[in-house]
Amino acid sequence: MASRPGTRLRKILLAANRIHVAIYRRGRGKLAIRMANLPLLLITTYGRKTGNPSTTPVVFIQDGEDYRVSATNGGTDWDPGWYLNLKARPQARIEIGEQAFDVQAKIAASEERQQLYERFKAARPNFIKYEKGTTRVLPVIRLTATH
């Protein structure tokens, strides 16, 4: 796996993430989804080192009552922080539009992951590009509400 981005780039990415989250919340998801032309949710995970909450916009596919997300990180060779946080602590909170609820995350393995990732590729060509642009297997995660 390639090295993670340098400090300067990480600061820029964090600032961009905060802006995207603010736009999503201000427009109750509608403006952000319209701008991205993709179904987006906000996922709040808890730092694997600090325990502090961190929120990130992520593309999702609804699967019955569950939600599926993929840790593509734009096709880079490193896993996104929110995914590493979920691996350490699979409890999270998601926001879809005006709704917010707690979820339990389960990382899909082998054949299930492949079948689910095919759904992402069928939904958007970006996911084909992400897969071709990295050496890592792009994880797919099931998020199930914990009411």
The 10s digit of each residue's pLDDT in 113-142 is 999 999 999 988 889 999 999 999 999 999
Beta bridge partners of 56: 43
* Domains within the chain, CATH numbers bracketed: 7-145 (2.30.110.10)
Contact yes or no for 103/92 (Cβ under 8 A): yes
What is the pLDDT confidence band of residue 82, given thresholds at 50, 70 and 90?
very high
The whole-number pLDDT of residue 124 equals 87
The whole-number pLDDT of residue 3 equals 55
Two tokens, residue 97:
């539009």
The whole-number pLDDT of residue 10 equals 66
Of 13, 23, 35, the residue nearest 80 (C-alpha): 13
Rounded mean pLDDT of the chain?
86
The whole-number pLDDT of residue 22 equals 73
Sign of the alpha-carbon dihedral angle for 134, 34, 42, 5? positive
Mean pLDDT of 15-34: 68
Least confident of 26-30, 63-67, 130-134: 26-30
For residues 106 and 116, give the distance between their C-alpha atoms in angstroms, rounded to a whole number. 13
Least confident of 4-18, 34-48, 130-144: 4-18
pLDDT at 32 over 90: no
Q: Could you tell me the pTM of the whole model?
A: 0.83
